[in-house]
Amino acid sequence: MSGRVLGLDYGSRTVGAALSDPLGITAQPLETICREHENKLRRTLARLEEIVKEYQVERIVVGLPKNMNNTLGDRAERAKEFSEMLARRTGIETELWDERLTTMQAERVLIEADVRREKRKQYLDEMAAALILQSWLDAKKGRQE
């Protein structure tokens, strides 16, 4: 794989973003994009377009919040719609990736890194996006070997 991959943790008011290195080996948290209303996505999509251009992103991975019993609920349906909207808007292929437990895992990572509670919320979404993306990168790497 050449080119960067953008990983996203789509939430009702925020989108956490993470970026792979150019070789597609590691994922780093990038930023959290906030919006006031769940359905107001114009600015969010515009910011993601800027990121895609700036970092020459070749693929986008969107976290799919499945239920623990592997079914898709309302949040998963919204993530799918967002992923499709993003693909249309950027012209870049998007892929949905199971994100179960990544937010809890991200919180644990931040606690272990001694990030204070007030600051954790600020970094939680982008850290969750990095975990989603790293999981996807690791799975892709495993299939290539």
Query: Could you report the per-residue pLDDT of 44-73, keeping only the tens digit for each?
Result: 999 999 999 999 999 999 999 887 788 888
Q: What is the pLDDT of residue 88?
A: 95
CB 8 within 8 A of CB 17: yes
Query: Into how many domains does the chain fold?
Result: 1
Phi/psi for 57 (5° steps) reads -70, 135
CB 84 within 8 A of CB 96: no
List pLDDT tens digits, range 17-48: 999 999 999 999 999 999 888 778 999 999 99
Residue 56 DSSP class? T
Q: What is the pTM of this model?
A: 0.87
Q: What is the pLDDT of residue 9?
A: 94
Residue 58, domain CATH = 3.30.420.140
For residue 118, pLDDT over 80 is answered with no
Within 8 A by CB and 6+ apart from 119, the residues are: none
To the nearest whole number, what is the mean pLDDT of the chain? 88
Q: What is d(CA 127, CA 36) in angstroms, rounded to the nearest whole number?
A: 21
Phi and psi based region of residue 3 (left: phi greater than 0; alpha: psi -120 to 50; beta: remaining):
left
- How many C-beta atoms surround the C-beta of residue 12 within 10 A? 10
Residue 67 DSSP class? -
Q: What is the pLDDT of residue 143?
A: 62
Residues spanned by the domain of 32 = 4-144
